Structure 1
Amino acid sequence: MSEFLTARLSKRIAYWVFLSIVVIEIVILVPSVMRRERELLNYLRSLSTAQALGRLDASILANLQDEMLIDYLQGLQTNQVILGGAIYDQSGNQVGRFGEAPQLTLAESQQGWTPDRYYRRQRRYDAPWDMPPLRDRYVLIVRHDASGVQREFFAFIGRIAGLIVIISVFVTGATLVVLRRLLIQPIMLLRQDLITAGQAIGDDCDTQTLAFASLPYARADELGDVIAAFEQMFCQITAAVATRKQSETRFRTLVEQAVDAFFVVDAAGQVRDVNQNACDSLGYSRDELLTLSVTDIQTTHSQADFEAIWQQLKPGVPQTIEVWHQRKDGSGFPVEVRLGLLDLGGDRYGLALARDIRDRRASEAAQARLAEIGELAAMIVHEVRSPLTTVLLGLNSFRSLELPERFQTRLELALEESERLQKLLNSILLYSRDPALVPEQIEINALVQHLVTTLEPEAIAQSPPLALRTLPYAVNVRGDRDKLKQVFINLLTNARDACPATGTITWAVQPPVAGQVSISIHNDGEPIAPELLPKLTQPFFTTRASGNGLGLAITKRIVEAHQGQLVITSNASGTEVTVTLPLASAS
């Protein structure tokens, strides 16, 4: 209750209600006050006139003239309220006066709204008397002592003012009692609820447990609508804050788990935020990193270089540079930094994504070495193929000669080894070159069926049975027909070599999925150990005594040149090689 009485709204309502009632009462009662004053003056005049007529002899008054009349009227001064008077004839001339002369003249009496005058400051009342003995001969204006009228008038005003105050206080109190329940208390509770809600949101507290005291006052009126709107607004804000927190948590989780180091820097190069990868890669804690600048972390660029790069940054146009990051222990490593500009509410920040490129540089160096080795291998193959061809020609010429069996056996062995060496050189030369594709539209079912029918019947007769499964509708890919033939023939040859005579080779075209078609070749041979599967496509790795280890490596390079994938799986039911190729576009 004390809070209600001390509330600014309560004081303001009480002030304006009280003032309004006072003004209304004054406006209503002012005519009554003035009417009361007039009544008191009329009573004074009537009373004094009656008393005067009781003391004066009417027959004498009727016969007196001028001076004698004035002398006779001086007897009126024995009345305490009559102070004096003035006599005027019918022409308006003053005949004489007695006692305290009236301020009101006959001319003023005849011109005003009323014939009498009340002089409040002097407490005098001048009024003409209508006395029958003097009628039609003289006009008598009498001055009265109005002190009693003034006292009665002020007493009346005091009573009226007290009544106004009592009524105003009662109405104001009654209004506040009613408004306390209907308006002021709900508003005060709503204000407290707003403060509580703001603090809860600002302090990031659990808003689900908040209980608002203003909700029971959500009636079917405008204030109830405001309270209901507050509840709805709070629910919306709470939901928005929860969504934002979830989004921030997800984003922070993604940032913390990112493989790249994240740095947020300002225009001066000061680090403002980092992720855990940045801390781990540099050996600093997060608090330590936030005290460093860009020049403390990397040694490639100076502060002037950073400022120049900052001036070149534009929103949506990131820059990529390579720098050297220095760890806390003094060691360093190369990184590729992708720097972008963020404009957040007028504040500009740089977002730097730093990626450790040691492995990439090592891979690039290894690829460069492999390229050099490939070029060297190609050169060696070219240098060896010519004399090897001459050797083969010479060895083949010895076949026409009749040689002893011992020398004939050695000749056959030399020819076999020379041919094997020639195949190895051809495979090395083929692997050392990038596959050059001549792409065209290929219907994959037709290609598979064509290969089956064109394979040598003898080879098919000697191999395990081949089960072919194609699709009843066309499936088109875009690729090099000869290179794809080489892929499938190589895979089919490997399957034939691995599958026992009692087994079955299954060649199947799978229904397209997600814009790709898969072609699998399965054999019922012995399973391959899981640790050997990743090595099967490496150069010069083979599980066969007669293989050179380049067949699957070349096959994989051809498939990848077609933007496809080659996957080898093996289990107790056998081994399956799956080639996945992208479908040709509709155009």
Structure 2
Amino acid sequence: MTAGETDVHTTVLRLESFLRHSADAIWMIDVKGDVQQVNPAFEALFGWLEEEVVGKPLPIVPPDLAERIELLHQKILQGHKEIGYETQRLCKDGRLVYVSATLSPVRNTNGDVIGISGTCRDITRMKQSEEELRKTKERLEAFISNSADAIWMIDLDDRLLQVNPAFESLFGWTEAEVLGRNLPIVPDFLADEIEEIHRKIKAGARISGYETQRLCKDGRLIHVSATLSPVRNTQGEVIGVSGTCRDITQNKQSEEMLIQTEKLSIAGQLAAGLAHEIRNPLTALKGFVKLMSLSQKGQSKYLDVMESELERIEMIVSELLVLAKPQASVFKRRRIEAILQDVLTLSETQAILHNVQIQPEFAEGLPEIDCDENQMKQVFINFIKNAIEAMPGGGTLRMFASLAGQTHIRVRVQDEGTGIPKEQLAHIGEPFYTTKTKGTGLGFMISKKIIEGHNGRLEIASEVGVGTIVDVHLPLPEQD
């Protein structure tokens, strides 16, 4: 055997060894499509022995793919090559397996194409895993999309990666508006707290049932119960933070109403006891003042003042009893601008002392309303007093009275004071809650109760550093 023949023989042996031991299924067909050779991996993968298929058409092509494979084979016979072609192939037992195939032309020593060689690798498990991942992803996306809870995900730089429809519905921002931005739902006064929480989550912690407040696009603050978890990649590394939250504002309001009811009950009991204890000595004092006025005519002017002030104290005690039980109101038809003018006259001295200028603006020809005049004066004296005290450096207090639609008169008291923070604004009107250092919170609460007793409503808006607006809506009498 010549050296050249030896080299050829060695090459053939190597090729045969490669075919026998290759983990990939290998076959060769001639230009007519008949099988010339298959390797053991082919037999193991597809189930046909070499002697069963040699000289016959390649049996592994599914019938529904026959036409497409024939066109591909024609392309290969023209000298083209197909690499990493993912498709399905048929096994002897009827199973279909996913394979990644490579098809190449086989040439003779003259370079003429005399057949096609094919190799393929079973990728069924990989495809099944991909399909399972796809279905899992679809289920997860469906869960996120259809969840009643707001869901979002941020990266390590706190940029939003995803939000669901419930997030859009709850907070008002669309996904397009927030993607790539910092989470907009965190109120400024909670920014430091949330930053610390996110730091813990990024370190691998998880927080569940965290009750807090979140900001909506329209500026509203809502109460939520939130769960925050780390998002990890396949290596287990934290790559972001996922959050879910549920609106519990109604629950919180119910809890606060219950607390307020309990406070009102306590306030009522306290007011009743206090009024009772004060009223007894007041009655005695009034009696003695009356006797003194009869016997000491020269001191009558001082006694008159004393009697007037005692009557005023008695009136305040009576008003304090509003907390304990509803009082009979004396409703008469009155002009609101006349009542307000009296209130402004009474408040003038306090305004001057605090360097506050009062600017009234009452619409002309306002209809009369049915009200208890003394109670109305008490309400507006309280609101003007609050407004003046909110401007320790002086300023302008504006008071407006105008029609609000066809059914109400609106009275507005507007100051240029320090304003009330949002987190405190919701508690204004609760018993014993006050923003003043020496206040009790009862004045505003009594005023609110009086307004409600007149079938009216009270609205308050405030901005820190700008001032506060108090609106009182009072109903007009029904037309006869």
Q: Same fold (TM over 0.5)?
A: no
Q: Which structure's residues are more often strand, by fraction?
A: 2
TM-score by length of 1: 0.30
More helix by share: 1
From the CA coordinates, give the structure whose radius of gyration is larger.
1
TM-score, scaled to structure 2: 0.37
